[in-house]
Amino acid sequence: MSHVFPRHTKSELPIAAGGDGCYLIDSAGQRFLDCGDAAVSCLGHSNEAVIKAVQEQVAQIAFAHTGFMTSEPAETLADLLIEHAPGDLDRVYFVSGGSEATEAAIKLARQYYLETGQPERCHVIARRQSYHGNTLGALSAGGNEWRRAQFAPMLIEMTHIAPCYEYAEKTDGESSFDYGQRVANELETEILRLGPETVMAFMAEPVVGATLGAVPAVEGYFKRIREICDQYGVLLILDEVMCGMGRTGHLFACDHDGIAPDILCIAKGLGAGYQPIGAMLCSGQIYDAIRDGSGFFQHGHTYVGHPVATAAALAVVRELTSRDLPARAGVMGDKLQSILENRIGQHPNVGDIRGRGLFRGIELVSDRDTKTPFDSSLGVAGKIKKAAMGEGLICYPMSGTRDGRNGDHILLAPPFVIEDEQLVELVDKLERAISSVI
Ligand code: PMP
């Protein structure tokens, strides 16, 4: 009997025993095309440069606490990230994963306003149907009811506006642009309702991953959000934990929207699965306020800037940038979109196929005309996940995402090194899995 505490306590999991490019291999030798381990694996499973970097670093020095010393890989990685980062992002704070990055961002925003003499600023506004992590602060920012429900009495009070979810919420006759402006303007309404002098930050994902299934904002939405934040002195925190690091066709997803945040959170693809690592990038203005004020960010974890994790991430970012892999994700993503549209676009239960780069979502509905979601008791997404595993495909189906109703979607996030024939293999397997369930 296993003593590991699995997430699903009633199911037996295969044992991951090997990796080969885009495939995970279990202990029985079955190969799984890895297209959705929560959008982590951007380089595939056997990248020699990253493996070598980890081996060399662990042999040289495994750990040095950043309260006492910094390390070469952490310094070089921060330089490289800043060289490519949008806007005036100027400093990098390393953490061990996505939730730690969003938690740190919330606390940094708070401390920035304390240092600059605006202690009444403490409200965070985020969006419904969003996910920013599972620790209590990050969960408070997230607007996904299913994830929040059990812990509701313990959550920090934060408020949520509408997401930018064109497929489900744009009204008939409204242009995409007008829809985007309308939902962006909800931010202004909410800031005015709370009192601008009390609001410190707005947090959002440029392309919504786990809760909606690769939903990008419409053109102009984030420009309007940036304007509103600037007008009221509210910090813009972008959560690119899932959509960042090249997945959408740009190294940073917000590059597509032509805006830059004040604080940017990344994780997943940063370590590409070779090490657990995340990061929070912040503007020079925020950093300087703390340096020139108390001189101490009142936050920290033991493994901040871990040398082996940063060495792995440095090798990952060098691979991404030197091989122009974000652009490849863009090209392969467009191909994936058209194969999906050709092969399953007419399925009576496929409502929408969308996304950017190698970050694609398929929304499943019981009725395409009315866009009516499946009843959650049917567990459509869970059944497809199981059927896909049986076919040798790891994808990321989720259900229960729409407020007040249920919705099922499948998220696809293959490694950027995926080849043409593997895109076809992906869709072959997915098509069989879907048609075995609905
Ligand atoms: N933000 C987003 C957008 C995510 O998708 C996730 C993870 N799915 C997180 C935060 C939390 O990251 P982690 O699981 O590494 O804590």
Q: What pLDDT sits at residue 399? A: 81
Whole-number percent of the chain with pLDDT over 90: 92
Question: Considering the chain, what is the average pLDDT of its residues?
Answer: 96
CA of 99 from ligand 1 middle (Å) equals 6
CB 351 within 8 A of CB 435: no
- The Cα 114–Cα 83 span in angstroms is 29
Rama region for 59: left / alpha / beta (φ>0; ψ in -120 to 50; rest): alpha
Cα 347 to averaged position of ligand 1 atoms, centre (Å): 31
Tell me what pLDDT residue 402 has.
67
The pLDDT assigned to 7 comes to 81
Work out the pLDDT band at 403, boundaries 50, 70, 90.
low
**Nearest residue to 95 via CA among 243, 279, 286:** 279
CA of 60 from ligand 1 middle (Å) equals 31
* Percentage of the residues of the chain whose pLDDT score is greater than 70: 98
Model confidence at 407, pLDDT cuts 50, 70, 90, reads confident
pLDDT at residue 90 tops 80: yes
pLDDT digits (tens, 9 = 90+) for 196-234: 999 999 999 999 999 999 999 999 999 999 999 999 999
Indicate the pLDDT class of residue 270, thresholds 50, 70 and 90.
very high
CA 391/CA 223 separation, integer angstroms: 42
- pLDDT score for 397: 87
372 C-beta neighbours (distance < 10 Å), count: 13
> Could you give the dihedral angle defined by the CA atoms of residues 281, 283, 288 and 289, in that order, rounded to the nearest 10 degrees?
-100
Q: Where are the alpha helices (DSSP H) in 195-273?
A: 221-232
Structure tokens at 138: 């990050």
| 64-86 pLDDT tens trace | 999 999 999 999 999 999 999 99
The mean pLDDT value for 180-190 works out to 98
- The tokens describing 162, both together, are 């509408």
Do 16-46+324-437 and 49-322 share a fold? no
Q: Are 379 and 387 in contact (CB under 8 A)?
A: no
Q: Is the pLDDT of residue 37 over 90?
A: no
Distance (Å, whole) CA 297 – CA 387? 47
Q: Which residue has the higher pLDDT, 340 or 9?
A: 340
What residue's CA is closest to ligand 1, atom 1? Answer: 132
Model confidence over 347-387: pLDDT tens digits?
Answer: 999 999 999 999 999 999 999 999 999 988 898 999 999 99
Three-state secondary structure call for residue 351: strand
Q: How confident is the model at residue 9 (pLDDT cuts 50, 70, 90)?
A: confident
Tell the residue nearest (CA) to atom 14 of ligand 1: 98
What is the distance between the alpha carbons of residues 80 and 363, in angstroms, rounded to a whole number? 36
- C-alpha span between 133 and 112 (Å, rounded): 22
Residue 400 pLDDT more than 70?
no
CATH topology for 49-322 is Aspartate Aminotransferase; domain 2 (3.40.640)
Q: Which atom of ligand 1 is nearest to the CA of 135?
A: 16
Task: Specify the ligand 1 atom closest to the Cα of 99.
Answer: 16
Specify the pLDDT at position 405.
60
Cβ < 6 A, ligand 1 pocket? 38, 97-99, 102, 131-133, 205, 209-210, 239, 241-242, 267
- CB contact at 8 A, 245 and 225: no
437 pLDDT higher than 60: yes
> How far is ligand 1, taken at its centre, from the CA of residue 204, in Å?
12
The DSSP-derived string for 308-329 is HHHHHHHHHHHHHHHTTHHHHH
Picking from 237, 262, 240, 259, the residue whose alpha carbon sits closest to that of residue 251 is: 240
Question: Do 113 and 199 contact (CB within 8 A), yes or no?
Answer: no
Residues with Cβ within 8 Å of 51's Cβ and at least 6 positions away in sequence, in order, are 274
Residue 404 has pLDDT above 60, yes or no: no
Where do the structural domains in the chain lie, given as residue ranges? 16-46+324-437, 49-322
DSSP element (H, E) containing 398: strand 396-399
In the CATH hierarchy, which top-level class contains the domain 16-46+324-437? alpha beta
Report the pLDDT value the prediction gives residue 334, as an integer from 0 to 100.
98
